[in-house]
Amino acid sequence: MSLILGIESSCDETAAAVVEDGFEVRSSIIASQIATHAPHGGVVPELAAREHLKALTPVVTCALQEAGTTLDRIDAVAVTQGPGLIPALLVGLNYAKGLAAGNGLPFIGVNHFMAHIYGAFLDGGAGKLRDPETYPLLALVVSGGHTSLVLVGADGTARQMGCTIDDAAGEALDKGAKLLGLPYPGGPSIQKAAAAGDPEKYDFPRPLTGAAGKALSPENLYNFSFSGIKTALLYHLNGNPLREEPQFVADTAASFQRAVVDCLVRKTLRACRDGGAKTIVVAGGVACNAELRRLMAEKCPRGVTLRIAQPRFCTDNAAMVGGIAWHSFRRKEFTPLNADSFARLPRIVRVPFI
Ligand code: KG4
Ligand code: ZN
C-alpha cells in the first residue's frame, strides 16, 4: 500500500490530499481564496501566491490528520507543476520540494490538465482508465483559467487539439456575472440566476462555431473564443432600462450561459468526431455547471462514453494530484528537485496512467 500526499496551488485554491494507491481518497482538503479575490472580480496572481503561503501548512496538516496518518508514513510528495499562474504554482512547488527533500521522500511534479482528466476517474473509474477501449479519450478541461480540448491516445500521449484564443469559459462567466451585478465566482451565480430564466430569450453569439454561417479557418476548428459573447452582453446591458429587473436578469443569465455552454458542447463534439474519441471527459470548475452536464449528456454521440468528474473533483483539488502521481510513483518516475513550474500546456504530454 502506498500513500501519496498531493498538493495543489495552481490558481486560487490551496489544496492537499492523501490518496492511497491512486484511487482511494483518504482526505481532500481545500482552502478557497474566494473572499480575497471577490472584490477584484477575478483572481489576482500575487494575492493568490500570498494566500497559498499562509494556507499551505494548515491545509497539509489537516489533510494528514483527516487521513489518519503522519508524514513519516507518506511514500511520496506530489505537486501541481503547471499549467497555472506562475506565482501561485511556485509557492506550492517549492513547499512540496522542501517537504520531500526534508523528509527524504520521492518528489513528483504533476501536470494540472492531466490531473483534471484523472479526476473524472476517481469515482470508481480505475477499471475504465486501464481499459484500452476507453481511448482515444477527448477531454474538455474548462475552468476559470483554461478552456482546452485534449486528445489522449491509447499510446499514452496527450496532445492539445484546441484552446481558447482569448478568455477561458469560466473567466467569461465570471466577467459576465460582474456585468450583471451577480456575486463572484460568476459561474455558480449565473447558474443560479439562470434557473428562473429562458435560455432562448436573447440571442448571444456563438463565436468560432460556424453558427453564424461563417466558414471556420482550419487553425480555429477546435479553438474557442468567448470575448465576443462577453462584449455582446455588455451591449445588451448598456443603458437597458430593464437591467435591474429580476426576470430580465434571469433571462439574460440563462441566454448567456446557454451561449457559453453551446460553444463548449459544439466544439467538443466536433473534436470527438474528428479525433475518433471513444470517451469524452469533462473536467475543471465549469464542469460543475448543470446546463453543461445536461447538454453534454443529451448530445453525446452513440457509442461514446461520457465521464464528467464529480463536482468535488471538478474544481481544483489535490486528490487528483495525489491520485495521478501514484502511477508515476509505481514506475519510479520521479521529478528532479530543480524542476520548474510552467504556465502553458506543452504540445505533447505523456500521461502516466496508461
Ligand atoms: O477549476 P477551478 O476551481 O479553478 C480554476 O480556474 O482553475 O474553476 C473555477 C471556475 C470559475 O470561473 C467558476 O466561475 C467556475 O469554475 N464554476 C462554474 C460553476 N462552478 C464553478 N461555472 C459554471 N457553473 C458552475 N456551477
Ligand atoms: Zn484547474
* Ligand located closest to 177 CA: 1
Instruction: Name the residue at shortest CA distance from atom 16 of ligand 1.
Output: 285
User: Do the domain assignments include residue 340?
Assistant: no
Ligand 2 centre from 162 Cα, in Å? 17
For residues 169 and 98, membership in a common domain is answered with no
User: Do the domain assignments include residue 343?
Assistant: no
Instruction: Name the residue at shortest CA distance from atom 22 of ligand 1.
Output: 187
For residues 143 and 96, membership in a common domain is answered with no
What pLDDT digit, counting tens, does each position of 313-331 carry?
Answer: 999 999 999 999 999 999 9
Structure-block grid coordinates of residue 310: 464529480
What pLDDT digit, counting tens, does each position of 233-245 carry?
Answer: 999 999 999 999 9
Indicate which atom in ligand 1 lies nearest the CA of residue 186.
Answer: 14
For residues 297 and 196, membership in a common domain is answered with yes
Neighbours of ion ligand 2 (CB under 5 A): 143, 316
For residues 171 and 288, membership in a common domain is answered with yes
Range of the domain at 66: 3-119+313-330
Ligand 1, residues 174, 226, 288: which to mutate, most atoms within 8 A of Cβ? Answer: 288
Are 2 and 20 in contact by the 8 Å Cβ rule? The answer is yes
User: Do the domain assignments include residue 342?
Assistant: no
For residues 143 and 30, membership in a common domain is answered with no
| Residue ranges in the chain assigned as alpha helix (H) | 34-37, 45-66, 86-102, 112-119, 126-130, 169-180, 186-194, 227-237, 246-275, 290-299, 311-314, 319-330
* pLDDT attached to residue 211: 84
Ligand 1, residues 111, 173, 258, 263: which to mutate, most atoms within 8 A of Cβ? Answer: 173
User: CA–CA separation, 84 vs 45, rounded Å?
Assistant: 10
For residues 77 and 172, membership in a common domain is answered with no
Instruction: Name the residue at shortest CA distance from atom 3 of ligand 1.
Output: 315
Grid cell 453564424 — which residue?
212
* pLDDT attached to residue 260: 98
* pLDDT attached to residue 214: 79
For residues 102 and 209, membership in a common domain is answered with no
Instruction: Name the residue at shortest CA distance from atom 21 of ligand 1.
Output: 285
User: Do the domain assignments include residue 291?
Assistant: yes
Average pLDDT over residues 286-305: 98
User: CA–CA separation, 187 vs 76, rounded Å?
Assistant: 35
Angle of helix 227-237 relative to helix 246-275, nearest 10 degrees? 160
Q: With a cut of 80, say whether residue 2 has pLDDT above it.
A: yes
Question: Taking the CB of residue 42, how many other CB atoms lie within 10 A of it?
Answer: 16
Ligand 1 centre from 307 Cα, in Å? 18
Q: What pTM was computed for the model? A: 0.96
What pLDDT digit, counting tens, does each position of 163-213 carry?
Answer: 999 999 999 999 999 999 999 889 999 999 999 999 999 999 999 998 878
For residues 142 and 237, membership in a common domain is answered with yes
User: CA–CA separation, 333 vs 214, rounded Å?
Assistant: 47
Ligand 1 centre from 288 Cα, in Å? 7
Transcribe 95-115 into DSSP letters: HHHHHHHHTT--EEEEEHHHH
For residues 75 and 164, membership in a common domain is answered with no
User: Do the domain assignments include residue 157?
Assistant: yes
User: Do the domain assignments include residue 336?
Assistant: no
Ligand 1 centre from 314 Cα, in Å? 8
Indicate which atom in ligand 1 lies nearest the CA of residue 290.
Answer: 26
- Residue 66: closest CA among 35, 27, 40: 27
For residues 293 and 231, membership in a common domain is answered with yes
Ligand 1, residues 11, 33, 143, 230: which to mutate, most atoms within 8 A of Cβ? Answer: 143
User: CA–CA separation, 194 vs 192, rounded Å?
Assistant: 5
CA distances from 314 to 109, 163, 231, 285, 318 (A): 20, 18, 28, 5, 11
Residues flanking ligand 1, CB < 6 Å: 11, 13, 143-145, 170, 173-174, 185-188, 191, 284-286, 288-289, 315-316
Ligand 2 centre from 2 Cα, in Å? 25
Question: Taking the CB of residue 298, how many other CB atoms lie within 10 A of it?
Answer: 8
Indicate which atom in ligand 1 lies nearest the CA of residue 315.
Answer: 3
Strand order across the beta sheet in which 305-308 lies: 305-308, 279-283, 137-142, 147-152, 157-163, 348-350
Q: What percent of the chain has pLDDT over 70?
A: 100
Q: With a cut of 90, say whether residue 38 has pLDDT above it.
A: no
Ligand 1 centre from 8 Cα, in Å? 16
Number of domain units in the chain: 2
For residues 139 and 108, membership in a common domain is answered with no
User: Do the domain assignments include residue 257?
Assistant: yes
User: Do the domain assignments include residue 77?
Assistant: yes
Q: CATH number of the domain at 98, please.
A: 3.30.420.40
For residues 168 and 182, membership in a common domain is answered with yes
Rg (CA), the chain: 20
